[in-house]
């Protein structure tokens, strides 16, 4: 469980990036952190594994204040997948890349071998085991980066902007994968401003703007409220926009999912004919 | 990374910022020459005070101090090596009859090491003022108007411009690797140096990748197409610039005169009188 208590953070440059954030993320929860660029999303989640320490306030991860433990200790339970895989890949082979963290955490050799096989398989990159990560495509590099973090099986997984720069097929795969993780009782925290992605995964959503949380609620509640979304410069999903515009026809205004929308429209059409 | 901070330009307006970069460069070069001419602590202390009025006039005291603090480690290193080497080969010192054993002889060594350190500090202090108060654009313009080929000017200004970008990127990479359990401050000296490999490789790879991208995008915008480039802005010398030239030349003449005809006493002899 992650408890954020009245968190303030000011960067050394003097910029106050977080202004009084309070939030609890329960075990096994799926949370999306949304908001426009510069809202403070990355700054907030960097507190969850201790990369940043509160200027004021407190973060408790499983009851322990992040001030009292090192990043390496926190990272064992809280995996953080950075936005750009090129900020972490450095090894000669994909396999080495995955071993890196496991070795840092002091796993036994036999365990390392097992976990590497498992992670390679999980992200479908086994065929690149001996390939240099620099030779892979963008999507593959992203998957290797993910594998290198999931390999130590952290309980909490944070993903910063995972869908940026991915083609549709990769996005679809990634989405399935993230849902699967959450189904396995992992706590998943995704930083994103991809509304379609949030609409399809339907997690709990917090909307941030200028270092504060504007609203906290279900994806359905937040994505269908254009007024609230506008505060964070986010536009509702297209399907929601259609239903909002057709509200006069008596259509529901809280639709975010394409399948749900299809069903409602089909029913309508059937009734007519 | 705090040494970089001292060389990062911030857009402010002041008398010092508005000076012609060529003249400012001439001024710091004179300081540089003077720092090399003199070896006595007394003389170098005087030199240290010369850039101070400029720091205050430009209101860059905070950043300037930060660059000095950033250089502290190297300064300590210089002090230590000078002292140690002086101790083991004292023959070249006036006032020391080897071996070094009396208090006065130790003081001579200390003064010499302090002087060499101060020489380094003077260099950092004056060049930091120059870079803190000169925009990369101005600098590029100055180089071009000094008839240096445009290719070199462009390469130089681009390099300067990318220093802060690289510093930010290094921070992100460090965070990404710490999130994978890397502990930079762990192990013996050799291990600590090795700890930086996972940071340096992505940093270098990304820098190369970025420079290739920059080259492509420049070329697709017809870089180098016209033989003769003209500039929107031209640098013109103003009154303040002439005054600074005068000051610099007088300083240089005075310094050469003192160097030739005045023997500066060392502190140790002054005190033992
Ligand atoms: N290392 C840093 N130093 C100074 N300011 C920063 C740094 N990182 C981010 N910021 C600033 O903090 C604010 C929040 O940034 P960030 O958390 O990255 O936003 P988001 O992830 O929501 O786009 C922005 O205004 C950004 O410019
Ligand atoms: Mg971000």
**ipTM computed for the complex:** 0.91
CA-nearest residue, atom 2 of ligand 1: A11
Q: Which residues of chain A have pLDDT under 50?
A: none
C-alpha A42 – ligand 2 centre gap (Å): 4
Instruction: Name the CA dihedral angle for B260, B82, B106, B115, rounded to a multiple of 10 degrees.
Output: 40
Do the chains contact at A82 and B206, CB–CB below 8 Å? no
Ligand sitting nearest the alpha carbon of A38? 1
Report CB contact under 8 Å: A71, B178. Answer: yes
A232 located within any domain? no
Q: Given an 8 Å threshold on Cβ–Cβ distance, is B176 in contact with A88?
A: yes
Ligand 1 binding residues, C-beta < 6 A: A 11, 13, 15, 17, 35, 37-43
- Which residues are CB-contacts of A249 (< 8 A; sequence separation ≥ 6)? none
Taking CB atoms and an 8 Å cutoff, what residues of chain B touch A100? Answer: 180, 182, 198
Which residue's structure tokens are 């030349």? B249
Mean pLDDT confidence for B62-90: 87
A119 and A149 together in one domain:
yes
What is the model's pLDDT at position B1? 46
Q: Which two tokens stand for residue B103?
A: 């208090």
DSSP designation for A273: -
Q: Which residue has a Cα nearest atom 18 of ligand 1?
A: A42
Residues A110 and A152 in one domain: yes
Rounded Cα–Cα distance for residues A51 and A212 (Å): 20
Contact A178, A206 (CB under 8 A): no
Are residues A84 and A216 both part of a single domain?
Answer: yes
Tokens of B109: 């060594």
Q: Which residue has the higher pLDDT, A126 or B153?
A: A126
Which protein residue has the closest C-alpha to ligand 1 atom 8? Answer: A43
pLDDT (0 to 100) of residue B140: 84
| Confidence at residue B17, expressed as pLDDT on a 0 to 100 scale | 87
For residue A40, give the ligand 1 atom closest to its CA: 17
Structurally, chain A folds into a number of domains equal to 2
Per-residue pLDDT tens over the stretch B190-199: 888 888 999 9
Cα–Cα distance measured from residue B241 to residue B262, given in angstroms and rounded to the nearest whole number? 30
Both A200 and A258 in one domain: the answer is no
Q: Is the pLDDT reported for residue B153 higher than 90?
A: no
A244 and A119 in a single domain? The answer is: no
Which position has the higher pLDDT, B4 or B182? B182
Assigned domain for A231 exists = no
Q: Which two tokens stand for residue A96?
A: 């080495």
Q: Which positions in chain A touch B169 (Cβ < 8 Å)?
A: 87
pLDDT, mean over chain B: 86
**Domain identity same for A203 and A249:** no
The chain A residues in contact with chain B (CB within 8 A) are: 46, 49, 51, 70-72, 75-76, 79-80, 82, 84, 86-90, 100-101, 104-105, 134, 148-149, 152
Residues near B237 by beta carbon (within 8 Å), at least 6 away in sequence: B20, B23
- Mark whether A127 and A75 lie in a shared domain: yes
Per DSSP, helices labelled H in chain A are: 41-45, 71-75, 94-104, 109-122, 138-150, 168-183, 195-201, 219-223, 226-231, 238-245, 258-272
Cα–ligand 1 centroid distance for A43 (angstroms): 6
Query: pLDDT tens digit string along A108-162?
Result: 999 999 999 999 999 999 999 999 999 999 889 999 999 999 999 999 999 999 9
CB contact under 8 A, A72 and B202: no
Question: A254 and A159 in one domain?
Answer: no
The percentage of residues in chain B with a pLDDT greater than 90, rounded to a whole number, is 38
- Which domain covers residue A270, as residue numbers? 237-273
Q: Which residues of A touch B201 (CB under 8 A)?
A: 90
Q: Which residue's CA is the closest to the ligand 1 atom numbered 7?
A: A11
Whether the per-residue pLDDT at B254 is higher than 90: the answer is yes
| Alpha-carbon distances of A99 from A103, A131, A132, A145, rounded to whole Å | 6, 14, 14, 12
Task: Give chain A positions within 8 Å (CB) of B176.
Answer: 80, 82, 87-88
Q: How far is CA B17 from the centre of its chain?
A: 17
**Residue A23 domain flag:** yes
Residue written as token pair 């505060």: A231
Q: Which residue has the tokens 């950033």?
A: B70
CA atoms within 13 A on the CB side of A133: 27
Write out the two tokens for A110: 């036999």
Residue A80 has φ and ψ, to the nearest 5°, of -125, 115
- The C-alpha of B142 sits at a distance from chain A's nearest C-alpha, in angstroms, of 30
Between B169, B180, B202, which is nearest A100 by CB? B180
Angle at A202 between CA A200 and CA A204, to 5 degrees: 150
- Measured in angstroms, the CA of B175 and the nearest CA of chain A are apart by 7
Does residue A230 lie within any of the structural domains? no
Tokens read off for B51: 């850039």
Whole-number pLDDT of residue B241: 92
DSSP per residue, chain B: -HHHHTT-------HHHHS-HHHHHHHHHHHHHHHHH---HHHHHHHHHTTHHHHHHHT-HHHHHHHHHHTHHHHHHHHHHHHHHHHH-GGGSTT--SS--SHHHHHHHHHHHHHHHHHHHHHHHHHHHHHHTS-HHHHHHHHHHTT--HHHHHHHHHHHHHHHHHHHHHHHHHHHHHTTT--TT-SSHHHHHHTTHHHHHHHHHHHHHHHHHHHHHHHHTTTT-SSS---SS-----HHHHHHHHHHHHHHHHHHHHHHH-PPPPHHHHHH-
CB B129 within 8 A of CB B31: no
Contacting residues for B140 by C-beta, under 8 A, at least 6 apart? B153, B154, B156, B157
Mutation pick for ligand 1 pocket among A9, A17, A48 (CB with most ligand atoms within 8 Å): A17
Tokens of B184: 């930079």
DSSP labels for A176-208?
HHHHHHHHTT-EEEEE---HHHHHHH--EEEEE
Smallest-distance ligand from the CA of A37: 1
Is the pLDDT at B38 greater than 50? The verdict is: yes
Measure the CA dihedral B52/B58/B63/B68, to 10°: -20
Give percent of chain B above pLDDT 70.
92
Judgement on whether residues A84 and A143 belong to the same structural domain of the protein: yes
For residue B180, the Cα-to-chain-centroid distance in whole angstroms is 35
CA dist., res. A211 & res. B65, Å (int): 30
Q: Which two tokens stand for residue A152?
A: 């130590």
Any bridge partners for residue A34, and if so which? A207
Contact A100 B206 (CB under 8 A): no
CB-based contact B179 A49, cutoff 8 Å = yes
- The answer to whether the CB of B8 falls within 8 A of the CB of B132 is yes
The predicted structure's pLDDT at residue B273: 57
Q: Kindly report the CATH number assigned to the domain that includes residue A135.
A: 3.40.50.300
Does residue A135 form part of some domain? yes
Q: Which two tokens mark B259? A: 């160097």
Same domain, A122 and A38: yes
Residues in A closer than 8 angstroms to B171, CB to CB, are none
Q: Which atom of ligand 1 is nearest to the CA of A39?
A: 22
Rounded to 5°, angle at Cα B66 from A20 and B249: 145
Which residue has a Cα nearest atom 16 of ligand 1?
Answer: A40
Cβ–Cβ under 8 Å, residues B93 and B112: yes
Count contacts between A and B (CB, < 8 Å).
62
In a domain, A228, yes or no: no
Average pLDDT over residues B153-164: 84
Cβ separation A49–B205 shorter than 8 A: no
The mean-pLDDT minimum among B66-80, B82-96, B108-122, B133-147 falls in: B82-96
User: Could you tell me the pTM of the whole model?
Assistant: 0.78
Q: Is the peptide bond before B99 cis (omega within 30 degrees of 0)?
A: yes
Alpha carbons B119 and B69: distance in angstroms, whole number? 15
Q: Would residue A159 count as lying in a domain?
A: yes
Tell me, yes or no, whether A219 and A253 share the same domain: no
A48 inside domain: yes
Q: Which residues of B touch A134 (CB under 8 A)?
A: 205
CA contacts within 13 A on the Cβ side of B193: 2
pLDDT interval class at B253 (50, 70, 90)? very high
Q: Do both A189 and A244 map to the same domain?
A: no
Residue B51 CA to ligand 1 centre (angstroms)? 34
Quickly count helices (H) and strands (E) in chain A: 11, 10
Q: What CA–CA distance (Å, rounded) separates B210 from A142?
A: 19
């Amino acid at each position: 469980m992650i408890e954020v208590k009245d968190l303030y953070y000011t960067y050394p440059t003097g910029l106050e990036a977080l202004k009084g954030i309070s939030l609890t993320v329960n075990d096994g929860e799926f949370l999306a952190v949304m908001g426009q660029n510069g809202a403070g999303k990355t700054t907030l989640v960097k507190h969850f594994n201790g990369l940043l320490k509160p200027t004021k306030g407190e973060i408790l991860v499983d009851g322990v204040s992040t001030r009292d433990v090192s990043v390496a200790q926190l990272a064992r339970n809280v995996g953080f997948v950075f936005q750009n895989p090129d900020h972490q890949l450095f090894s000669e082979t994909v396999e080495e890349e995955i071993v890196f963290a496991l070795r840092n955490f002091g796993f036994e050799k036999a365990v390392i071998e097992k976990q590497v096989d498992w992670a390679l398989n999980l992200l479908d990159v086994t065929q690149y085991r001996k390939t240099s990560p620099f030779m892979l495509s963008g999507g593959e590099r992203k998957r290797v980066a993910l594998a290198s973090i999931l390999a130590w099986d952290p309980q909490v997984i944070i993903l910063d902007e995972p869908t940026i720069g991915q083609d549709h097929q990769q996005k679809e795969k990634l989405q399935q994968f993230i849902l699967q993780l959450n189904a396995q009782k992992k706590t998943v925290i995704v930083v994103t401003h991809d509304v379609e992605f949030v609409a399809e995964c339907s997690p709990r959503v917090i909307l941030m703007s200028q270092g504060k949380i504007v609203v906290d609620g279900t994806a359905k509640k937040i994505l269908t409220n254009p007024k609230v979304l506008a505060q964070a410069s986010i536009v509702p999903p297209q399907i929601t926009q259609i239903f909002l515009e057709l509200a006069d026809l008596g259509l529901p205004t809280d639709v975010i999912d394409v399948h749900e929308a299809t069903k409602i429209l089909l029913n309508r059409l059937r009734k007519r004919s | 990374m705090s040494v970089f901070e001292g060389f990062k330009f911030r857009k402010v307006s002041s008398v010092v910022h508005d000076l012609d970069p060529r003249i400012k460069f001439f001024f710091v070069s004179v300081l540089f020459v003077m720092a090399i001419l003199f070896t006595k602590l007394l003389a170098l202390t005087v030199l240290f005070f010369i850039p101070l009025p400029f720091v205050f006039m430009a209101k860059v005291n905070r950043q300037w101090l930060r660059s000095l603090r950033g250089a502290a480690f190297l300064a300590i290193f210089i002090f230590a090596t000078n002292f140690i080497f002086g101790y083991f080969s004292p023959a070249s010192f006036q006032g020391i009859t080897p071996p070094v054993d009396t208090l006065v002889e130790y003081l001579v060594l200390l003064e010499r090491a302090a002087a060499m350190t101060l020489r380094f500090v003077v260099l950092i202090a004056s060049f930091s003022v120059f870079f803190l108060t000169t925009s990369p654009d101005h600098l590029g313009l100055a180089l071009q108007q000094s008839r240096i080929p445009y290719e070199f000017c462009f390469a130089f200004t681009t390099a300067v411009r990318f220093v802060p970008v690289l510093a930010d990127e290094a921070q992100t990479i460090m965070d990404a690797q710490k999130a994978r359990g890397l502990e930079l401050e762990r192990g013996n000296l050799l291990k600590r140096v090795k700890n930086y490999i996972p940071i340096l490789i992505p940093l270098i790879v990304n820098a190369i990748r970025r420079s290739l991208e920059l080259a492509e995008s420049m070329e697709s915008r017809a870089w180098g197409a016209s033989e003769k480039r003209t500039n929107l802005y031209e640098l013109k010398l103003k009154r303040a610039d002439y005054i600074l030239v005068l000051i610099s030349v007088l300083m240089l003449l005075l310094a050469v005169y003192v160097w030739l005809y005045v023997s500066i006493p060392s502190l140790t002899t002054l005190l033992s009188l």
